[in-house]
Structure 1
Amino acid sequence: MTTPRVRSVLVIGGGTAGNGLTVLLRRAGIAVDLIEAKPDWNVSGSGITLQGNALRALREIGVWPQVRAAGSAFDSVGLTAPDGTVLHVARDVRTGGEDLPATVGMQRPRLQEILIDAVRASGAHVRLGTTATALHGDADGVNAEFSDGSSGRYDLVVGADGISSATRAMIGITERPEPTGMAIWRTPAPRPVRVERTDLSYGGPAYIAGYCPTGPDTVYAYLVEPKRDRATIDPASYAEEMRRLAAGYGGHWEQIAASITDPAQVNYTWFDRHLVEGPWHRGRIVLVGDAAHACPPTLAQGAAMSLEDALVLAELLTGADKFSEQLLLDYHARRLPRVRMVVENSCQLGQWLMDGVRDADVPGLMARTTAVLKETP
């Protein structure tokens, strides 16, 4: 059965996927209500690495000029020994096309601010500090009830509320994120002189020690280690813990480590694997981004996959004269193989590190992955 095209959408979650989708739908004249649980619209975090296919999506959303101005672009990645000796520098693949950089590093809060500005300019109706408490769907739409006591009816509801998605639970999808066994310490830091790209060190006291330039004066630094019981780590000791790990690395890490003094600036997170294999919708409620899939950042593809979801779903919804369930089935069919590859390959890279595999075919895996990512989603 087909019905008139989608004219009103509720987007639950104002992160990367939800913001991007909102802008795309508003551009097509669709009325969008966006609700976000956090009153500050989740303007937080340290840094983010955006590969070319993420930049391609951001260009389609219309914010590439702002991202380019705010971030730091580069086209190579370095491999260093724990003491800081550069072992190899490789040219990175421009997965977004030759007219875009291979990679842009930027401060995560700045990316969120850029997307927020685009949502506000789009004319979407935004409510912060608000959640959906109930969703009741029928053949023609969805009735939503909200934490502020209000309600509304929509042609479609999109759950873009992240890896712990309440929307996913509401519609009865039972898959949940599972820890991979790794965890990451992250912090912003002053940018050392002569840091022009991401450098990665495998080995030393952590599985991975890396940093990425995020602007003229800043970097995003991270250390990956075996996951610990989070209850045993006092948040007041986060800076001390990260400094202790960083002390095992030389080169630019000496300056970075010396700057890690504020525990409030340090984030500690487990790596999770998450993939909903079956359909990402129930009736007229559909998932995008981390609500449907998430993976360790070993390939730096989390934001890219979420942005691609938004592109594909918006394309299908705005390109059809009529709405039918087949549109949501087509969305899932287009996204699942690509997302599954990214999730599996991201986890494989981490597993090789945890298992101490020294002859792993990392170059082959990377080449196969980037060949797919160069294709439009």
Structure 2
Amino acid sequence: MISVLVVGAGIAGSAAAIAFARGGASVDVVESTPRGHVLGSGITLQGNALRVLRELGVWEVVQKHGYGFDTLGIRAPDPQGTLLVEMNDARTGGPDLPAGMGMERPVLAAILHEAAENAGAKVRFGVDITSLTQDASSVAAGFSGGTSGRYDLVIGADGVRSWTRAAIGIDLKPRSTGMGIWRLFGPRPDSVTRTDLYYGGAGYIAGYCPTGENSLYAYIVEDAQDRTGLTPQQRLEVMRGLAENYHGPWDAIREDLVDPASINYTWFETHVLDGPWHRGRVVLIGDAAHCCPPTVAQGGAQGLEDAIVLAETVLGSYPLGDDASMDELLTAFTVRRLPRARAVVEASVQIGTWMLEHDVDADVPGLMGRVAALVSEAP
């Protein structure tokens, strides 16, 4: 039986734990934050992400707790919030799944953590990895608290500023794309039943997505600014001021915009590890290997795809015979995943660049259509 350590219990890490444990591996997961401590408000899951969640056996519970929709609205940043067009969105997961689904991030995290544990993975929260030492046949890992373990494979799913990535000698740092995003989490007005996007106005994009029967997240994208000196109340006032420029359903959203704790602000960042995603028996997935701004809503989906492709690649050839080595398997994984992840990242960044440059000739629908066609294919 192959032994696997997953570093990080976010979307990609939890999915990897489920896939490997369901495939018969012995799986340990360490997560530095306490159980239930999940950053972020909501997430949009495109159909290809839902396809992976179905493969992981959690689709029914995800469907119960999320909010699915099949259309996308485009509204004008005018005093009426005029609906310009309502279009059918691409069903990238297939005709039997919604085109998209909004979910509360903490709810999705809890579903994935429970599924990993039910599959047999041992998940430890509030535990840091402190060391990695490799030889030809295994990886020794040290953890906070003085514990240790030895594994056949270590999966670094510890995010955009991955400790694992640095520990194996990969010098890759994210860069700002020049945009910042205000996000809020709050009640869902009856008028919000899908994602609507407003291009222009006080920001580059303003939008919202239902995340459940009684919740949504909404966002406004602006030029990246240093907002670190603002108090929570000042952040709320900035968000309310920007939201005053958007109408239609935004009028109802703004009425409930009263809690400073419901607001967060981050910059769009990006990177792609353009080469092998592993060193020896340690491999990176998700944001540790590739990170894209949310302009095509594919960050979580690409991490999910990494997880199941990695499990399929490794478990399909394990135990290793004379004709296969772990290095060859992990190289094959990168070869399979890198072109798709890189294309998604580049498209996400390109859309943002067009907006920053106010490019009137930008073909945003065409590019988004090409991304949808790409991710509609099996990963």
- Range into which the TM-score falls when normalised by the shorter chain: over 0.9
SS at match of 1:145: strand
Task: Give the counterpart letter for 2:337 in structure 1.
Answer: R
**Residue 121 (structure 1) aligned with residue 110 (structure 2):** no
Check whether the contact 1:43–1:113 (CA below 8 A) recurs between aligned residues. Answer: no
Tell me which residue corresponds to 1:247: 244
Moved more, 161-170 or 210-219: 210-219
**Residue 43 (structure 1) aligned with residue 38 (structure 2):** yes
Superposed displacement of residue 263, structure 1: 1.5
**Residue 290 (structure 1) aligned with residue 287 (structure 2):** yes
Deviation sequence 1:130-160 (CA, Å, 0-9, x none): 1111100010000111111111111111100
Deviation sequence 1:240-265 (CA, Å, 0-9, x none): 11111101111111111121111111
Moved more, 165-174 or 193-202: 193-202
When the two structures are aligned, how many residues end up with a matched partner? 372
Task: Give the counterpart letter for 1:176 in structure 2.
Answer: K
1:174-189 aligned within 5 A: 174-189=171-186
Q: Cα–Cα, structure 1 residues 139 and 41, in superposed 2: closer, same or farther, change >3 Å? A: farther
Tell me which residue corresponds to 1:316: 313
**Residue 345 (structure 1) aligned with residue 340 (structure 2):** no
Task: Give the counterpart letter for 1:62 in structure 2.
Answer: G
SS at match of 1:214: strand
Mapped partners of 2:228, 2:18: distance in 1: 39
Give the % identical residues: 55
Check whether the contact 2:36–2:106 (CA below 8 A) recurs between aligned residues. Answer: no
Mapped partners of 2:203, 2:249: distance in 1: 16
Task: Give the counterpart letter for 2:374 in structure 1.
Answer: V
Task: Give the counterpart letter for 2:38 in structure 1.
Answer: V
Check whether the contact 1:21–1:314 (CA below 8 A) recurs between aligned residues. Answer: yes
Mapped partners of 2:162, 2:227: distance in 1: 21
Superposed displacement of residue 232, structure 1: 3.3
* TM-score normalised by length of structure 1: 0.97
Residue 368 (structure 1) aligned to one of 358, 367, 370: 370
Residue 20 (structure 1) aligned to one of 12, 15, 20: 15
Mapped partners of 1:230, 1:276: distance in 2: 29
Check whether the contact 1:11–1:35 (CA below 8 A) recurs between aligned residues. Answer: yes
Deviation sequence 1:176-199 (CA, Å, 0-9, x none): 100000011111121112221110
**Residue 78 (structure 1) aligned with residue 80 (structure 2):** no
Check whether the contact 1:15–1:42 (CA below 8 A) recurs between aligned residues. Answer: no
Task: Give the counterpart letter for 2:331 in structure 1.
Answer: L
Unaligned regions of 5+ residues in structure 2, if any? none
SS at match of 2:212: coil
Mapped partners of 2:92, 2:261: distance in 1: 35
Tell me which residue corresponds to 2:357: 355
Superposed displacement of residue 97, structure 1: 0.6
* TM-score normalised by length of structure 2: 0.96
Tell me which residue corresponds to 1:31: 26
Tell me which residue corresponds to 2:104: 107
Mapped partners of 1:135, 1:313: distance in 2: 20
SS at match of 2:177: strand
**Residue 268 (structure 1) aligned with residue 268 (structure 2):** no
Residue 146 (structure 1) aligned to one of 126, 143, 148: 143
Check whether the contact 2:71–2:194 (CA below 8 A) recurs between aligned residues. Answer: yes
Superposed displacement of residue 42, structure 1: 3.4
Tell me which residue corresponds to 2:48: 53
Moved more, 179-188 or 358-367: 358-367
Moved more, 87-96 or 120-129: 120-129
Task: Give the counterpart letter for 1:95 in structure 2.
Answer: T
Mapped partners of 2:177, 2:346: distance in 1: 11
Check whether the contact 1:47–1:105 (CA below 8 A) recurs between aligned residues. Answer: yes
Tell me which residue corresponds to 1:3: none
Tell me which residue corresponds to 1:194: 191
SS at match of 2:204: strand
Q: Cα RMSD over matched residues?
A: 1.1
Mapped partners of 1:203, 1:13: distance in 2: 37
Superposed displacement of residue 41, structure 1: 4.7
SS at match of 1:242: helix
Tell me which residue corresponds to 1:164: 161
Deviation sequence 1:197-245 (CA, Å, 0-9, x none): 1100001101100001111121110111111113333334221111111
Check whether the contact 2:13–2:157 (CA below 8 A) recurs between aligned residues. Answer: yes
Task: Give the counterpart letter for 2:128 in structure 1.
Answer: T
Mapped partners of 2:127, 2:279: distance in 1: 22
Superposed displacement of residue 358, structure 1: 1.8
Moved more, 188-197 or 262-271: 188-197
